[in-house]
Chains A and B, each alone.
Chain A
Amino acid sequence: MQDNISPRLPGSGQTEEHSPPHARRPAWWQILWDKTGSYISVALGSIVGAVARFLVSVLCVSQFGDGFPWGTLFVNVTGSFAIGFYAAVTGPDGRLFVSARQRLFVMVGFCGGYTTFSAFSLETLRFVQSGKAQTALVYLVVSVVTWIASVWVGYALAARFNRL
């Protein structure tokens, strides 16, 4: 079962470890069972991630107002950090050995649901529409730089932790 997070990443090899062939079970049943389990893992992780994202944005609007999308920036930066750290720590050289389903729950479900590209796009468009092209550009550049920096920091920290 693929976890849809690039198999070129360290860790994807591990997702092939599941399901020793059950001799008496028909293959179609096994496939259906695996697929259903994967989708349930993704769905449950998505709920947790999306609700967390929603609560963060409610909190940010109540604290800082809605002049700048701090909530979206926060979830995208922390979500990038989390996926980088988790991918490395559960990878082939990682300290944690987890099931393919747990990786789906955390990486595709939780991190995927917690972060959002569509809200970021709309917020950038809204800055442009309200004549704040400069703010739009700042938001765009700051976002991309901090996303990539935080996934790298998460990954590097986990790699260091793995070597301890």
Chain B
Amino acid sequence: MDTINGVMWVALGSVLGGTARFWLSGFVARRVGETFPWGTMVVNVSGAFLLGVLAASAASRGIFAAVGPWQFAAIGILGTYTTVSSFSLQTLALARDGEMMRAAGNMVLSLSLCLLAVTGGFVAGSYILG
């Protein structure tokens, strides 16, 4: 029963997260060009930041400490909003084109910025909520 509730929350959130990613990554790609996957990176970094904020809320017994809101916003919206598959495919595409520096740059930049963002989100969330 818990799992069925979870599926409903996650499914609801995923519609928002998936369409938001599609819109924003396309928007960024059209604006700055497609030689480097900035769209996916913007999505992943912003998603990691927001998840850090939600985690701080959960840690300080805020609204996201409850199961339903966490499943909806963290697993549903932000889990779907961010993506590893596009990141992997775009890194592979750069490598196959012989753009090794860009492929490596995408990996290093994505990882370091996402980890910084989730930490920053957690600290900011703790500061505001705590």
Contacts and interface: CB of A to CB of B under 8 A. Distances in A.
A and B interact physically:
yes
Interface of A: 2, 4-9, 38-39, 42-43, 45-47, 49-51, 53-55, 57-58, 76, 79-80, 82-84, 87, 104, 107-109, 111-122, 124-126, 140, 144, 147-148, 150-152, 155
Given A4-B39, A112-B80, A87 B25 contact: no
Contacts of A115: 83-85
Nearest to B50: A118
Contacts of A151: 85, 88-89, 91-92
Contacts of B93: 6, 8-9
A116 B29 contact: no
Residue from the set A43, A50, A84, A125 with the largest chain B CB neighbour count within 10 Å: A50
A152 B23 CA distance: 27
Interface in B4-32: 6-7, 10-11, 13-15, 17-19, 21-23, 25-26, 29-30
19 contacts: A42-B22, A46-B14, A46-B15, A46-B18, A46-B19, A50-B76, A58-B3, A76-B85, A80-B88, A108-B22, A116-B84, A117-B48, A117-B83, A118-B44, A121-B117, A122-B55, A140-B111, A144-B107, A148-B107
A122 B51 contact: yes
Interface of B: 3, 6-7, 10-11, 13-15, 17-19, 21-23, 25-26, 29-30, 34-35, 37, 39, 44, 47-48, 50-52, 55, 71, 74-76, 78-93, 97, 107, 110-111, 114-115, 117-119, 122
Q: Is the interface of B mostly helix, strand, loop or mixed?
A: helix
Contact of B26 (A4, A76, A147, A150): A4
A17 B74 CA distance: 37
Contacts of A125: 52, 55, 115, 118-119, 122
Nearest to B17: A46
Residue from the set A49, A87, A118, A152 with the largest chain B CB neighbour count within 10 Å: A118
A45 B25 CA distance: 17
A42 B19 contact: yes
A20 to B, nearest CB: 23
Given A47-B15, A50-B13, A54-B7, A121 B85 contact: no
Contact of B85 (A55, A83, A119, A155): A83
Contacts of A5: 86, 89-90
